Amino acid sequence: MIASLTGRLAFKAPSHITLDVQGVGYEVFIPLSTFYALPDLNESASLSIHTHLRDDAIQLFGFLTSHEKDAFILLTGISGIGPKLALSVLSSLNMPDFVSAVQTGDIDKLATVPGIGKKSAGRIALELKDKVERLHPAATIPHSLSEPLDRLQEDALSALVNLGYRPAEVKEALKRLARAHPNTPPLKDLIKDVLKDLAQG
């Protein structure tokens, strides 16, 4: 089984990418949340991978965070929810909203996902209610994380926490980047820079 891939981003679209790993191109299906955080073409990208085996094919599904991968696996474990519907859920609801909707039994919110009707929404809420808490342990951003950030950094922090990263880790990465590059880049580039920093450990 392939658990993760790191390589050159050779192609990207909202539904899938091609990752060139030492000359081998892997087609990887992704949710929109991962697509929005991808680097530019020909840059290096790292994804957590779920290998889905079918009778006629092997499909790879990639995620920016392990939380999204875990949510995908939980969703596909529900009768009637296949990989495409699971990606649709993760593309329509960010992790805090998904966890909140399941925990509160908000069937109406779950049913807003394309392809998910009230019946499937009810099944998701029922079967995952006791399982989703571990998916997003950092649903809120604590205010006790040392010195304050500026507005752009706060927006980047919020976006990355919504993807499942721990606030303390993101804030430390923002500090390192601020020291190395005093001029703060636009939000999209800032998020990319933080993701690269976090990937390097």
Residue 169 has what pLDDT? 83
Question: pTM (2 decimals)?
Answer: 0.66
Contacts for 159 with CB less than 8 Å, ≥ 6 apart: 187, 191
> Both 98 and 158 in a single domain?
no
* Half-sphere exposure in the Cβ direction for 41 (13 Å, CA): 6
* pLDDT above 80 (res 148): no
Of 176, 177, 172, nearest to 190 (Cα)?
177
| More confident of the two residues 112 and 161 | 112
| Domain membership of residue 123 as a residue range | 66-135
User: What's 54's DSSP letter?
Assistant: -
Residues 6 or more apart whose CB falls under 8 angstroms from that of 16 comprise 27, 28, 29, 30
Rounded Cα distance, 26 and 21, in Å: 7
User: pLDDT-based confidence at 136, cuts 50/70/90?
Assistant: low
Q: Does 143 map to a domain? A: no
Residue 99, burial from CB neighbour count under 10 angstroms (0-12, 13-18, 19+)? buried
User: For the domain that residue 185 is a member of, what is the CATH number?
Assistant: 1.10.8
Per-residue model confidence as pLDDT tens digits over 35-59: 888 889 999 999 999 999 877 889 9
d(CA 125, CA 66): 21
Q: Contact, 110 vs 90, CB < 8 A?
A: no
* 103 occurs within a structural domain: yes
Across 159-163, average pLDDT: 77
Same domain as 70, residue 57: no
Asked whether residue 140 is domain-assigned, the answer is: no
Looking at 47, 63, 79, which one is the last position of a domain?
Answer: 63
Same domain, 75 and 32: no
Q: How far apart are CA 70 and CA 95, in angstroms?
A: 11
Are the CB atoms for 10 and 43 separated by under 8 Å?
Answer: no
Q: Are residues 124 and 155 in the same domain?
A: no
Q: Are residues 31 and 72 in the same domain?
A: no
CATH of the domain at 89: 1.10.150.20
Strand-pair category, 44-53 with 4-12 = antiparallel
Domain count along the chain: 3
Specify whether 130 is located in the same domain as 81.
Answer: yes
Give per-residue pLDDT as tens, 57-88: 899 999 988 888 999 999 999 988 999 999 99
For residue 128, the model assigns a pLDDT of 93
Instruction: Note whether residue 141 is domain-resident.
Output: no
